[in-house]
A and B are shown apart, each in its own frame.
Chain A
Amino acid sequence: MALLVVMSAVTFMLMRLTPGNFLDTLRLDPQISKDTLAYYTRLYQLDAPAWQQYLHWLAGLFRGEWGYSFYYNVPVAQIIGPRLVNTFILSLAAFLVTWMAAIPLGIWAALNRGNGRDRALQCAAYAVISLPGFFVAMILLFMAAVTGCLPLGGIESPGAGELPFIARMIDMARHLVIPVTALSLGSIAVLQKLMRGNMLEVLGRQYIFAARARGIPEDRVIYVHALRNAINPIITLLGYEFASLLSGAALMEIITSWPGLGSMMLTAVRAKDIYLVMAGMMMGGVLFVAGNLMADIALAKADPRIKIG
């Protein structure tokens, strides 16, 4: 909570410290008079001192009012809503792909430790880790532009609104391929390494020997006894991963023209739409905190030794 308040105060200050306000484009329009500008300044209270504006906004927040967007002239919540959903779709897809690829890969690598297949995978992982996500996205976009096999960014094709539901979902899935690949590739590489390491450590433990000695089938030893313990530390990461994906998606959204929170924030910051920026920041902050909370809860569930309190 305190974190969110501090974050909002800093954002507000930064927005106010940068020169200009959202009326600046109007100022250079020959058809707009001084009176009209003064009218807007009064209407949006742009002449009030910064702290007064901030407190006004904060008080509103506690009443559930997110403020008003200068730029779109509607309550901020109505703009954020659909964008949040889009960001969520992207993050969730990337998250699922990451985990569904990384965990089996990690186990597979651990079981193949040291042989050619494992080495090739680890080599590829290092290569991928060293590539920044935005670069991957650009290469993919370039390849899509040359081959024409995937759409060039955006969330849907023109005319998608007319298609039946299933075709629309498929259309969106096609648009998801590039941003999701770019977002998850790096995380898969890191995560599978962690999984591999944990798995190897657990497999070397005494109780695994004991289990094997008792004649429990090898599959059961690996997937029940070893996996359960190896995955524990990784679950802690789950929440952080998701939270950082939500915020990390911003750059990818801008590159691949995904209409989510990130692209919205860029427009809002540029237009000096201060309340929209604030709401976007708060949303990001809340998601981050929620992600961490989720991680703690998941960990407590997975490991009975940890108590919340």
Chain B
Amino acid sequence: MVPGVFKSTTGLFLLCFFILAVVTAPVIGAAPTRYGGTLVLSVTSDPRSFNPILAKETSTTTMTGHMFEGLTTMDPFTLKVIPNLAERWEADKSGLIWTFHLRRGLCWSDGVPLTAADVVFTFNDLIFNDEVPSSARDIFTVEGKPLRVDAVDPLTVRFTLPALFAPFLRSLGQEILPRHALEKAVRDKKFTFTWGINAKLSDIVGSGPYRLKEYQPGRRVVFSANPYYWKKDADGGVLPYIPRIEYVIVPGMDVELLKFIEGSIDVYTMRGMDYPLLKPQEASKGFTVYDLGPDLGTSFITFNQNPGINTANGKPFVAPYKRAWFSDVRFRRAVAHLVDKKRIIEIVKNGMGYPQDSPESPAAGFFYCGDVRKYDYSLEAARGLLAEMGCADKNNDGILEDAEGRPLEFNLYTNADNTERVDAAAIIRSDLERAGMKVNLQLVEFNTLVAKLTSTCDWDAVILGLTGGIDPHFGQNVWRSSGQLHMWHPRQQAPATAWEKRIDDIFTAGVKEFDEGKRKSLYDEYQKIVVEELPVIYTALGARLVAVKNRFGNLKPSPFGGVLHNIEEIYVK
């Protein structure tokens, strides 16, 4: 009885599926059309909002990214700033006043025209509104002052900067929001609760290629083409080609991988460990693996050099004798010589990775400086440096002692939930121990690690990663000596060392320098100093691997934009 029912339900299901397939298949015989089909993608968690101003993490920004656009955008290949909603712009001589000209005939996805008033609203009423929590405010606040935004006429916007701010153009990728749809919410002080995941989807009005059609918590998010989208193809036809995008919500990457192999999703962002599994199946399962180059983020080990004292118990954050090692550059260089990047890439990333030398990832393109000091993996070099510090195994227990006879022993923390990081930590630890240090690997909860780094400061060494961006300026919270994330010695009143002072100066100068060449040489200098002084010691970056089914045309994968940056032009073959 039970198998019988099962068989017939499968049959019925297949029949339905077949009908669906016939209905949605492109009409064969007529002129080949690029319109039609569905792109099935996946996310590993539910979106947390559909409000791009409040969006903070990727499951949300992936969604809002399809629906909203900014005045400028970045060329996914050259990383140059190119026009988007604004078709051109000019700056006055001082570099403080910028005038942007919007494209003619722009419309929101409900048909209402998009004008300069919307741009002014986005900045003045949302980003610079004290009642709206927005990470964009930190970006557009220059020397503590907001920039001024005025509408000159419906198609012209003028920005007045309080001081020179070089990352300005690039930052204007900031999504513009519709005034007519949000004005009331702002007036009623309800903006923070607007366009949440409980919103009526037709109320969410954007300017991007897609608009929201359906959201089923824990199941799916569906987008449909925005009929008012401004971009046209070469023949003047409307874009996007694919009328429907469906995001399947899956609980984790393992399920995502299975679903991709099963064939129910079209694109899978791979981990290094998936490579040996997926690569051999390329031909038989009909997909292609794209290697987009190194990640934008960073991965590193850092030592606590904080001389501060815990006010709660009067004890120093780090034992002074340990701090003496950690603040000795010879010690940090010895550690750098002991980080076996090749082995980390081989074991942790299955060979799909890149050694990282500089604080900027090679993925940052223009601003990346590869010409920095290199620390080859060398036990001898490390031993030499440690001996120079006066470290030797005086009591023959296999562990080095410093000049005062204290064993070189410290705790190395990392977060337990990141398996790649844990594996890398184990490799680094074994190499440090080969050179005669005693390393206690401590795996802790992510939140505990954050608390240690930002508030309690009671750690010796940490292996961690940070997200990165294209413009080095936005790393200032890490590199300025006063920064919150200046992990090895945060929130300094005045720079503790000469090189930290120099980096502070570079970041102050860099933000005011509009000449790209001069700007680059400044940021090159900071990268060289960091690698010379090694407050953080870089390990390896993963390769960004994406597997895509072979049923799409116009795919133009780029290291920066990924495979879907031109989603409006992609079509189903």
A-side residues, CB < 8 A to B, are: 18-21, 24-36, 39-40, 43, 71-75, 78-79, 82-83, 86, 145, 148-149, 151-159, 161-164, 167, 170-171, 173-174, 177, 254, 257, 259-260, 263-264, 267, 272
Residues in A with CB closer than 8 Å to B216 are: 82, 161
A18 to B464, CA, bound (A): 21
A104 to B530, CA, bound (A): 74
A145 to B260, CA, bound (A): 11
Are A19 and B445 touching (Cβ within 8 A)? yes
Are A24 and B446 touching (Cβ within 8 A)? yes
Are A19 and B218 CB-contacts (below 8 A) given A30-B467, A31-B474, A72-B48? no
Closest-by-CB residue of A relative to B139 is A31
Are B447 and A36 touching (Cβ within 8 A)? no
Interface string of B434-478 (1 = CB under 8 A from A): 000000000001111011011000000000101101000011111
Interface string of B244-265 (1 = CB under 8 A from A): 0010111110010011011011
Residues in A with CB closer than 8 Å to B466 are: 28, 30
* B220 contacts partner chain A, Cβ-Cβ < 8 Å: yes
Residues in B with CB closer than 8 Å to A43 are: 133
The residue that B218 contacts in the complex, of A18, A173, A177, A259, with Cβ under 8 A, is A259
Are B192 and A145 touching (Cβ within 8 A)? no
Closest-by-CB residue of A relative to B40 is A158
The residue that A78 contacts in the complex, of B13, B198, B252, B477, with Cβ under 8 A, is B198
Are A162 and B218 touching (Cβ within 8 A)? no
Which 5 residue pairs across A and B have the least CB separation, nearest first?
A20-B447, A259-B218, A167-B16, A24-B450, A158-B40
Residues in B with CB closer than 8 Å to A145 are: 258, 261-262
Residues in A with CB closer than 8 Å to B218 are: 82-83, 86, 155, 259-260, 263-264
Are B135 and A36 touching (Cβ within 8 A)? yes
Known: A151-B262, A167-B13. 9 other contacts (CB 8 A): A20-B445, A28-B454, A28-B464, A30-B467, A32-B477, A83-B218, A155-B218, A158-B264, A161-B220
Are B57 and A79 touching (Cβ within 8 A)? no
Closest-by-CB residue of A relative to B222 is A161
Are B9 and A28 touching (Cβ within 8 A)? no
The residue that B196 contacts in the complex, of A19, A21, A73, with Cβ under 8 A, is A73
B-side residues, CB < 8 A to A, are: 6, 9-10, 12-13, 16, 20, 38, 40, 45-46, 48-49, 54, 56-57, 133, 135, 137-139, 192-193, 196-198, 214, 216-220, 222, 246, 248-252, 255, 258-259, 261-262, 264-265, 445-448, 450-451, 453-454, 464, 466-467, 469, 474-478, 484-485
Are A79 and B255 touching (Cβ within 8 A)? no
The residue that B193 contacts in the complex, of A24, A25, A28, A74, with Cβ under 8 A, is A74
A57 to B274, CA, bound (A): 44
Are A30 and B196 touching (Cβ within 8 A)? no
Are A162 and B448 touching (Cβ within 8 A)? no
Residues in A with CB closer than 8 Å to B474 are: 30-31
Are B137 and A36 touching (Cβ within 8 A)? yes
Are A73 and B9 touching (Cβ within 8 A)? no
Are A159 and B138 CB-contacts (below 8 A) given A28-B450, A74-B198, A154-B250? no
The residue that B133 contacts in the complex, of A25, A30, A36, with Cβ under 8 A, is A36
Are A24 and B217 touching (Cβ within 8 A)? no
Are B20 and A159 touching (Cβ within 8 A)? yes
Are A159 and B56 touching (Cβ within 8 A)? no
Residues in A with CB closer than 8 Å to B265 are: 158
Are A19 and B45 touching (Cβ within 8 A)? no
Are B135 and A31 touching (Cβ within 8 A)? yes
Residues in B with CB closer than 8 Å to A24 are: 446-447, 450-451
Residues in B with CB closer than 8 Å to A74 are: 193, 196-198
The residue that A30 contacts in the complex, of B193, B446, B451, B478, with Cβ under 8 A, is B478
Are B246 and A158 touching (Cβ within 8 A)? yes
Q: Closest Cβ of chain A: how far from B566's Cβ, in Å?
A: 22
Between A82, A145, A159, A174, the greatest number of chain B beta carbons within 10 A of the residue's beta carbon is seen for A159
Residues in A with CB closer than 8 Å to B135 are: 29, 31-32, 36
Are A154 and B248 touching (Cβ within 8 A)? yes
Residues in A with CB closer than 8 Å to B196 are: 72-74
Are A72 and B450 CB-contacts (below 8 A) given A30-B466, A163-B20? no
A173 to B12, CA, bound (A): 12
A157 to B477, CA, bound (A): 44
Between A24, A28, A75, the greatest number of chain B beta carbons within 10 A of the residue's beta carbon is seen for A28
The residue that B484 contacts in the complex, of A25, A34, A260, with Cβ under 8 A, is A34
A-B contact pairs, 16 of them (CB 8 A): A20-B446, A28-B466, A29-B135, A30-B474, A30-B476, A36-B135, A74-B193, A74-B198, A145-B258, A145-B261, A148-B262, A154-B250, A161-B246, A257-B251, A263-B251, A272-B447
Are B20 and A162 touching (Cβ within 8 A)? yes
Q: Closest Cβ of chain B: how far from A16's Cβ, in Å?
A: 12
Residues in A with CB closer than 8 Å to B264 are: 151, 157-158
A82 to B264, CA, bound (A): 24
A35 to B144, CA, bound (A): 11
Are A158 and B220 touching (Cβ within 8 A)? yes
The residue that A161 contacts in the complex, of B12, B48, B214, B454, with Cβ under 8 A, is B214
Residues in A with CB closer than 8 Å to B248 are: 154, 158
The residue that A79 contacts in the complex, of B16, B217, B220, with Cβ under 8 A, is B217
A33 to B135, CA, bound (A): 8
Closest-by-CB residue of A relative to B217 is A82
The residue that A25 contacts in the complex, of B57, B469, B477, with Cβ under 8 A, is B57
Q: Closest Cβ of chain B: how far from A25's Cβ, in Å?
A: 7
